[in-house]
DNA sequence: GTGAAAGCGCTAACAA
DNA sequence: TTGTTAGCGCTTTCAC
């Protein structure tokens, strides 16, 4: 029965005190160099691993960071998580991922769990909030909001106003006047801002806003799907559609393809986010592309600093989105 | 300055011993019911969270599980991770994800880190092994291999022989005789088995194997891409192609689409894995579909048992793949 | 029903 | 250069 290899067990094994072993392995205090070598040697052959639990108890930060995303299937989140995971490995951090399904209760659970393991920092896409009073922000865990912002704490946001504007310009230039929009509702900062950008752009072209062309609700694949279906059902006439969210975009696209809508003949389509496959669907999906990987690397860079000495630098950045024009519009 | 809320701090606060508080919160020993309520109340308002580190030090299992995947972008791994994350939340487990990039060194690093935090179990897609002696398997961490198997320990595998066979049958029925195959090389169990299935199927149809039609190497997007490019470059004549891996499939598909190959006119294409977009590309990509979500749920179900009392049940299962026929073949 | 003591593995602080 | 002591937050054991 293999009992755990600890500093003490190595120490007894070598006839030393456990402190010498500690010093030898951590490289901190002074240790005779041959003693050090002997200890290191022994530790390696015995397969010693330092207990993170014990270290954490001594009050040092845990090198655990959390990531909360609505899902991992959408390529934006998947790529973000992928990039972040690689960056974390480089910084010797452990990445704990929780999928919230955009559910505030699940989100709170996840945060709770992360506090139990004393995660030093968490990157999270805040779920749409119900009206309940939101729990106090724990002070011991640095939180960075992603994409949407719920409060004024640190955040990595997308600056997509220009891209949305460009999308409208592009569609208008193609002769469209009845341009639909499906986006998140007012509960989310991202929803508010994208809708605003869309409205402003219409205004610039002297197109009166038509609320039957604007669909907003908590964002999801299903919502995007149903929203597009509603618009296409012919009660209103739309000739173009702009999507204001990752899930929404995929859902709306599926609705179009599923019913045989020809892009761009029947509908000019502008998606949101740029999964690899968009390039190959319907001759290429016009879409709003985000610098996903840069965002993820930026997040970890910020965290790594954060986790060191208590630097109070707020990482708040805004990354520019860009309109990619392809055949679908 | 907020110092951590601990059992002791609550105890002092309430004029009790920390043991009473412990019992009150864990619900184990006997505590006067109004004392218990008072303690719980206080703990909640103070925002107490039990220290996972301290619990771990007391020798109890950590409720941390690891997942090692080559990447998180491929929809198979993404969906697997997504499903597993949700299942873990349901079991109150923390999921630590490491992206290995199919690199054995990174993989060892990740395992090491997971041992530091005393992860109870790890699900991993073993990286292709170089010839170095592989490090001893730690006894304290249960490991489940995914898709590929490196040794005889527990594994969740894909039974795709029948599906590959069906793919060949289908292609032959369509009149194809020059059927190419791109797959992982002999280093991986999955590579060996899929290649074998392909060869057997050809044999059944009395088609002599042509090694110029068979490309094997460590699997990756790039490898799939380049493999397909080579086959299509016209030195050999191929009329159909079967892919034997997730990354390979995406890479090969991109190569085809990128050079304007018309599917199935120029080439009958059979992919591996069924990302959502395959449905919409080139009128629908024929592919070998795997029960991803079931596998992930099966994995967590197994782990949850495993992490309880030391049940020695080996979770080893094989999940059947299925050929989905669409327009591309 | 409640408390006191010990110890999990580690390191900071002091002693030799 | 090396060793001893104490304590991080928790639970098991035993005493009251």
Question: In this prediction, what percent of chain B has a pLDDT beyond 90?
Answer: 85
Three-class secondary structure of residue B168 per DSSP: helix
| Cβ <8 Å between A72 and B54 | no
With a CB cutoff of 8 Å and minimum separation 6, the contacts of A160 are: A193, A194, A197, A288, A290, A320, A321
* Number of CB pairs, chain A paired with chain B, less than 8 A apart: 146
Over residues A55-78, mean pLDDT:
95
pLDDT at B315 over 80: no
B234 secondary structure, DSSP code:
S
Most B CBs within 10 A among A57, A60, A117, hence the mutation to make, goes to A117
Distance, CA of A61 to CA of A91 (rounded, Å): 14
* pLDDT at residue B313, rounded to an integer: 58
* pLDDT at residue B140, rounded to an integer: 80
Q: B151-177 burial string, b = 16+ CB within 10 Å, else e?
A: eeebbbbbebbebbbbbbebbbeeebe
For the ranges A136-140, B40-44, B164-168, B316-320, which has the lowest average pLDDT? A136-140
| Cβ <8 Å between A117 and B101 | no
- A139 falls in which pLDDT band (50, 70, 90)? confident
Please give, one letter per residue, the 3-state secondary structure of chain A: CCCCCCHHHHHHHHCCCHHHHHHHHHCCCCCCHHHHHHHHHHHHHHCCCCCHHHHHHCCCCCCEEEEEECCCCCHHHHHHHHHHHHHHHHCCCEEEEEECCCCHHHHHHHHHHHHHCCCCEEEECCCCCCCCCCCCCCCCCEEEEEECCCCCCCEEEEECHHHHHHHHHHHHHCCCCCEEEEECCCCCHHHHHHHHHHHHHHHHCCCCCCHHHEEECCCCHHHHHHHHHHHHCCCCCCCEEEEECHHHHHHHHHHHHHCCCCCCCCCEEEEECCCHHHHCECCCCEEEECCHHHHHHHHHHHHHHHHCCCCCCCCEEEEECEEECCCCC
* pLDDT at residue A269, rounded to an integer: 98
In the structure encoding, which two tokens stand for residue A275, read together? 């999964």
What value does the CA radius of gyration of chain A take, rounded to a whole number of Å?
26
pLDDT at B310 over 60: no
Note the CA–C1' distance, A17 to D4, in angstroms. 9
- B163 falls in which pLDDT band (50, 70, 90)? very high
Q: Cβ(A187)–Cβ(A155) under 8 Å?
A: no
Q: A154-191 burial string, b = 16+ CB within 10 Å, else e?
A: bbbbbebbebbbbbbebbbeeebebbbbbbbeebbbbb
Q: Which residue has the higher pLDDT, B153 or B284?
A: B284
The closest nt to B17, taking CA to C1', is C3
Nearest to A95 among B57, B96, B139 (CB): B96
The beta strand positions in chain B, using DSSP E, are 64-69, 94-99, 121-124, 142-147, 155-159, 179-184, 214-217, 240-244, 268-272, 286-289, 316-320, 322-324
Phi and psi at B103, nearest 5°, equal -110, 120
State how far residue A211 is from chain B, nearest Cα, in angstroms.
31
**Shortest CA distance to A194 belongs to which of A180, A203, A183?**
A183
| Cβ <8 Å between A81 and B72 | yes
Nearest to A72 among B2, B85, B109 (CB): B85
Which positions 6-25 on chain B have a beta carbon less than 7 angstroms from any atom of strand D? 6-8, 18-19, 22, 25
* pLDDT at residue B301, rounded to an integer: 87
The closest nt to A19, taking CA to C1', is D3
With a CB cutoff of 8 Å and minimum separation 6, the contacts of A257 are: A281, A282, B279, B280
In the structure encoding, which two tokens stand for residue B129, read together? 């092994």
Footprint of strand C on the protein (CB under 7 A): A 4, 6-8, 18-19, 22, 25-26, 28, 50-51, 54-55, 57-58, 60; B 16-17, 19-20, 23, 29-32, 35, 54, 57-59
Q: What is the pTM of this model?
A: 0.95
In the structure encoding, which two tokens stand for residue A171, read together? 């569609």
> For A221-248, how does the pLDDT look when each residue is reduced to its tens digit (9 = 90+)?
999 999 999 999 977 899 999 999 999 9
Token look-up 């509702």 returns A185
State how far residue B94 is from chain A, nearest Cα, in angstroms.
7
* pLDDT at residue A315, rounded to an integer: 67
With a CB cutoff of 8 Å and minimum separation 6, the contacts of B59 are: none
* pLDDT at residue B247, rounded to an integer: 97
* pLDDT at residue A93, rounded to an integer: 95
Distance, CA of A161 to CA of A163 (rounded, Å): 5
- CA distances A90 to A63, A114, A292, Å, are 12, 21, 18
Residue of A nearest to B96 (CA): A96
* pLDDT at residue B4, rounded to an integer: 86
Mean pLDDT value across chain A: 93
**Shortest CA distance to B315 belongs to which of B193, B187, B79, B146?**
B146
The closest nt to B23, taking CA to C1', is D11
Mode of pairing for the β-strands spanning A268-272 and B286-289: unpaired
* pLDDT at residue B254, rounded to an integer: 98
Distance, CA of A254 to CA of B287 (rounded, Å): 19
> For B222-233, how does the pLDDT look when each residue is reduced to its tens digit (9 = 90+)?
999 999 999 999
pLDDT at B2 over 80: no
> For A108-133, how does the pLDDT look when each residue is reduced to its tens digit (9 = 90+)?
999 999 999 999 999 999 999 876 66
Distance, CA of A110 to CA of A126 (rounded, Å): 12
* pLDDT at residue B110, rounded to an integer: 97
Please state, as a whole number, how many other Cβ atoms lie within 10 Å of the Cβ of residue A219: 30
CB of A175 within 7 Å of some strand D atom: no
Three-class secondary structure of residue B289 per DSSP: strand
Instruction: List bases, strand D, within 7 Å of protein CB.
Output: 1-5, 7-13
Q: Which H or E element spans position B83?
A: helix B75-90
Question: In this prediction, what percent of chain B has a pLDDT beyond 70?
Answer: 94
* pLDDT at residue A301, rounded to an integer: 87
**Quick one: B50 exposed, middle or buried, by C-beta within 10 A (0-12, 13-18, 19+)?**
middle
Nearest to B53 among A57, A86, A139 (CB): A57
Residue of A nearest to B95 (CA): A96
In the structure encoding, which two tokens stand for residue A318, read together? 């805004």
Over residues A78-104, mean pLDDT:
97
* pLDDT at residue B316, rounded to an integer: 74
**Shortest CA distance to A7 belongs to which of A41, A48, A37, A63?**
A48
| Cβ <8 Å between B140 and A4 | yes
| Cβ <8 Å between B98 and A110 | no
Q: Cβ(A189)–Cβ(A127) under 8 Å?
A: no
Most B CBs within 10 A among A45, A48, A81, A246, hence the mutation to make, goes to A81
Distance, CA of B185 to CA of B248 (rounded, Å): 12
Distance, CA of B168 to CA of B197 (rounded, Å): 10
Distance, CA of B105 to CA of B125 (rounded, Å): 14
Q: Cβ(A242)–Cβ(A321) under 8 Å?
A: no
Question: In this prediction, what percent of chain A has a pLDDT beyond 90?
Answer: 85
Task: Kindly list the residues from chain A whose CB atom is less than 8 angstroms away from the CB atom of residue B89.
Answer: 98-99, 106, 109-110
Phi and psi at B153, nearest 5°, equal -70, 180
Task: Kindly list the residues from chain B whose CB atom is less than 8 angstroms away from the CB atom of residue A140.
Answer: 2, 4
Task: Kindly list the residues from chain B whose CB atom is less than 8 angstroms away from the CB atom of residue A92.
Answer: 113
B135-144: list long-range contacts, CB under 8 Å, 24+ apart: B135/B108, B136/A47, B138/A47, B138/B111, B139/A2, B140/A2, B140/A4, B140/B115, B141/B111, B141/B114, B141/B115, B142/B303, B142/B306, B142/B307, B144/B299, B144/B302, B144/B303, B144/B315
Instruction: List bases, strand C, within 7 Å of protein CB.
Output: 1-5, 7-13
For the ranges A13-22, B20-29, B137-146, B235-244, which has the lowest average pLDDT? B137-146
Distance, CA of B175 to CA of B240 (rounded, Å): 10
State how far residue A119 is from chain B, nearest Cα, in angstroms.
11
> For B13-32, how does the pLDDT look when each residue is reduced to its tens digit (9 = 90+)?
999 999 999 999 998 888 99
Note the CA–C1' distance, A120 to C12, in angstroms. 22
* pLDDT at residue A316, rounded to an integer: 74
**Shortest CA distance to B76 belongs to which of B281, B271, B256, B315?**
B271
> For A2-32, how does the pLDDT look when each residue is reduced to its tens digit (9 = 90+)?
678 999 999 999 999 999 999 999 988 889 9
D3 closest protein residue (CA to C1'): A17
Distance, CA of B298 to CA of B314 (rounded, Å): 12
| Cβ <8 Å between B95 and A96 | yes
């Amino acid at each position: 029965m293999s009992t755990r290899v600890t500093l003490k067990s190595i120490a007894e094994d070598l006839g030393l005190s456990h402190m010498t072993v500690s010093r030898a392995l951590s490289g901190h205090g002074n240790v005779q160099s041959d003693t050090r070598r002997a200890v290191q040697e022994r530790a390696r052959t015995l397969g010693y691993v330092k207990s993170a639990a014990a270290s954490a108890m001594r009050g040092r930060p845990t090198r655990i960071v959390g990531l909360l995303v609505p899902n991992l299937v959408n390529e934006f989140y998947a790529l973000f998580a992928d990039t972040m995971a690689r960056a974390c490995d480089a910084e010797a951090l452990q990445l704990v991922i929780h999928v919230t399904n955009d559910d505030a209760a699940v989100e709170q659970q996840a945060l709770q769990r992360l506090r139990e393991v004393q995660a030093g920092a968490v990157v999270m896409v805040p779920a749409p909030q119900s009206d309940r009073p939101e729990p106090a922000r724990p002070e011991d865990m640095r939180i960075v909001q992603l994409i949407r912002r719920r409060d004024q704490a640190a955040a990595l946001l997308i600056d997509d106003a220009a891209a949305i504007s460009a999308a409208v310009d592009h569609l208008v230039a193609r002769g469209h006047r009845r341009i639909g929009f499906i986006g998140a509702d007012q509960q989310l900062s991202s929803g508010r801002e994208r809708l605003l950008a869309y409205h402003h752009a219409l205004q610039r072209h002297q197109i009166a806003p038509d609320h039957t062309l604007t669909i907003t609700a908590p964002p999801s694949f299903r919502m995007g799907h149903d929203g597009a279906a509603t618009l296409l059902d012919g009660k209103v006439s739309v000739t173009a559609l702009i999507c204001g969210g990752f899930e929404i975009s995929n859902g709306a696209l599926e609705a179009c393809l599923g019913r045989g809508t020809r892009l761009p003949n029947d509908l000019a389509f502008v998606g949101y986010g740029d999964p690899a496959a968009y390039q190959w669907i319907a001759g290429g999906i016009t879409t709003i592309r985000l610098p996903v990987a840069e965002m993820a690397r930026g997040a970890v860079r910020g965290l790594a600093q954060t986790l060191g000495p208590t630097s109070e630098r707020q990482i708040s950045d805004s990354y520019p989105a860009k309109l990619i024009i392809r055949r679908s519009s």
